[in-house]
Homo-oligomer: A and B are copies of this chain.
Amino acid sequence: MSIESRPSEQHADASPIQEAQDRFISSWGQMAGAWGISRTMAEVHALLYITGDALNTDEIMDRLRISRGNASMSIRALLDWGILSRTHKRGDRKEYFEADQDVWSMFRAIVRERMKREVEPLLASLFDIRDRSPVPDDEAGDDQQAAIEHQRRIEEMLTFFKTVERLGQRFAGPTGSGLEAAAKLLGRLP
C-alpha cells in the first residue's frame, strides 16, 4: 500500500509551508524558458531545492502530479546539467535526488552548461564564417567595400562572444569561484 495521501485536489490539505513551496515551484517553472529547459525540469528542480529534501522518483511524481516517464527524463536531464545529485538511503533500493543548496554554485552549473551548449558552438560558427568569407583585396569598389564591412561586423561579434566566453570561464569555469566577489564588486551601485 502506498503512503500517498495524494492531494487529488489542488491543495486538499496543504500546509501553509507547502502552499509557499507550491508557489515557488510554479514561479520557478515559469522561468523554465529563460534557462532553456522544460517546465517540468524546472519544477522538479524547484521542488528539490525548496524542500531541501532528497526525494525519490515516486515522491516527485506524486508531488508534481507527473508521469513516471516524464519524471525519469527530467531527472536525467537535470543530472546531465549537473544541478542534481543522486543519493541512497540505507535499506532502500530507490534512488534519491537532491538539489545543490548553494544558489551560487547552482548558477555556476547553469552558466557552464549554457556556455557549452550555446556560446561555444556559436563561436565555432563565427570562426568558420570568418575563414570562409571573401577576403577583401586592394582594389576599390562596392564589392570590396561590402567585404570590408562584412568582415568588420563578424569581427565585432567574435570579439563580443570571446569576451562573453572569458567572463563565463571566470564565473563558471574550473577556477571559477571568483564571481560572487566580482558580482558584489560590480553590484555596488553608483
Q: Which residues of A contact B (CB under 8 A)?
A: 15-17, 19-21, 23-24, 27, 30-31, 33-34, 36, 49-50, 52, 101, 103-104, 107, 114, 118, 121-122, 125-126, 128-129, 132-134, 143, 146-147, 149-150, 153-154, 156-157, 159-160, 163, 166-167, 169-170, 175, 182-184, 186-187, 189-190
B153 and A50 contacting across the interface, CB-CB below 8 Å: yes
Complex CA–CA separation, A136 to B50 (angstroms): 16
What 6 pairs between A and B have smallest CB-CB spacing? A27-B125, A16-B134, A20-B133, A166-B187, A34-B118, A103-B160
Q: How many copies does the complex hold?
A: 2
A163 and B183 contacting across the interface, CB-CB below 8 Å: yes
Chain B residues with CB under 8 Å of A186's CB are 167, 170, 182, 186
B31 and A118 contacting across the interface, CB-CB below 8 Å: yes
Chain B residues with CB under 8 Å of A190's CB are 170, 175
Which residue of B has the minimal Cβ distance to A171? B186
Option from B49, B149, B167 in Cβ contact (under 8 Å) with A52: B149
Chain B residues with CB under 8 Å of A169's CB are 189
A150 and B104 contacting across the interface, CB-CB below 8 Å: no
Chain B residues with CB under 8 Å of A16's CB are 133-134
Option from B20, B163, B167 in Cβ contact (under 8 Å) with A134: B20
Chain B residues with CB under 8 Å of A101's CB are 153
A150 and B189 contacting across the interface, CB-CB below 8 Å: no
Chain B residues with CB under 8 Å of A170's CB are 186-187, 189-190
CB of A145, distance to nearest CB on chain B (Å): 11
